[in-house]
Amino acid sequence: MSQPPPRGRVARIAALLAAAVLVGSIAPAPARAAGVRAVSNDGLGLAQQAGNPKLVTRGFVGRAGRTAEAADAAAAALSAAPESPEEVWRLWSLAPATAPIGRESIIGPDDRKRVKNTRAYPFRAIALVTFSGSRCTGWLIAADTVVTAGHCVHSGGKRGGWYNVSAFRVYPGRDGSSVPFGSCTAKRLYSNTGWTEQASSQHDFGAIKLDCDIGLTTGWFGYFWTNGSLVGRRAVVSGYPGDKPLTQWRSVGEVDASRTFEVFYQNDTLGGQSGSPVYYDHPNCGICAMAVHAYGIYGRKPYADHNHGTRITQSVARMFRDWSMAD
């Protein structure tokens, strides 16, 4: 007959079970994928912070009383040096970034709805990202850190390379020619070796470190990781599709399938929405993301009839946390 576990072990198991209540049915954390580590365009890398990331990192709606003030200040600054019609046209004409495989897709009737008020949270924490003749979507996870798809910061694989960091400009809550929170440039790009060396669709995520703290005004998204199934969870994808340039659109659905590194849904998306958050209003997290949207339909099921994104695992959450804390 087997012996009961020592008291200390029982206490640890009880603590883990109690923590699992935060996100429901959390299995033991997946190990970090072999050989996959955080990297940056300047080669500095990052020292891993002590401890593991929390299962839940809460969203932040912005500083009370600052949003309207900051929006008005941004509008005033732009009125002093407004974007010319030529500049708006240049941004409109940028090619939407697309994943290296598959096409982001409208599946059945187009159910996308335009976000009419991008000054409202969380839409103001979603940004149009422009760079090197192309555009993507990103979302704030800290005052100065924007998450996006890996293929929006690096072309992927050992033969690929980082895009020009000085060409990046990020517009939170942009709505056509309206730029309610102004824009920020980039000072560093982040991704991981699963993307920059292997060009793996399972690791297609990255981030942009901004030269400003606009997130203190716009707020930012929370995010969570779990090893359990995400099937049936509500899923919202909001971003800047290429067929509706410079305006934000969202699609609401649910997760139909989830794997270790991927989340599948039939929300409608098109090129330009790479890097969008896949999120919902989590009871313990607020507006909280579970994946980074990146891919459309291709190959066999579930890829053939679903769009999908890179899942936020414990390893991904750790990178997000470390990038957020970096200078």
Domain boundaries in the chain? 33-44+54-325
Instruction: Put residue 187 in one of left, alpha, beta given phi > 0 → left and psi -120 to 50 → alpha.
Output: alpha
pLDDT digits (tens, 9 = 90+) for 204-253: 999 999 999 999 999 999 999 999 999 999 999 999 999 998 999 999 99
For CA atoms 175, 169, 274, 62, give the dihedral sign. Answer: negative
* Overall average pLDDT of the 306-327 stretch: 96
pTM attached to this predicted model: 0.85
Residue 55, CA distances (Å) to 25, 65, 211, 246 in order: 12, 30, 28, 34
Catalytic residues: 151, 274
Q: Quickly tell me which residue has 């997000």 as its tokens.
A: 320
Mean pLDDT of 34-60: 83
Phi, psi (degrees; rounded to nearest 5) at 184: -130, 155
Query: What are the pLDDT digits (tens) for 257-290?
Result: 999 999 999 999 999 999 999 999 999 999 999 9
* pLDDT in the model for residue 75: 53
Average model confidence (pLDDT) for the chain? Answer: 86
**Residue 126 pLDDT > 80, yes or no?**
yes
- 123 contacts: CB under 8 Å, gap ≥ 6: 115, 117, 173, 238, 248, 250
C-alpha pair distances (Å), 176 with each of 109, 172, 249: 24, 12, 12
Q: How far is CA 315 from CA 30, 38, 52, in A?
A: 8, 10, 9
- pLDDT top residue among 28 and 114: 114
Give me the pLDDT at residue 35, please: 63
Report residue 90 CA to chain centroid gap. 25
In DSSP terms, 203 is beta-bridged to none
Pick the CATH number of 33-44+54-325 from 3.30.565.10, 1.10.8.60, 2.40.10.10, 3.40.50.300: 2.40.10.10
Closest CA relative to residue 283, chosen from 82, 52, 58, 102 = 58
Per residue in 84-116, pLDDT (tens digit) is 777 887 887 888 887 777 667 899 999 999 999
Cα angle value 166/185/122 (rounded, 5°) = 140
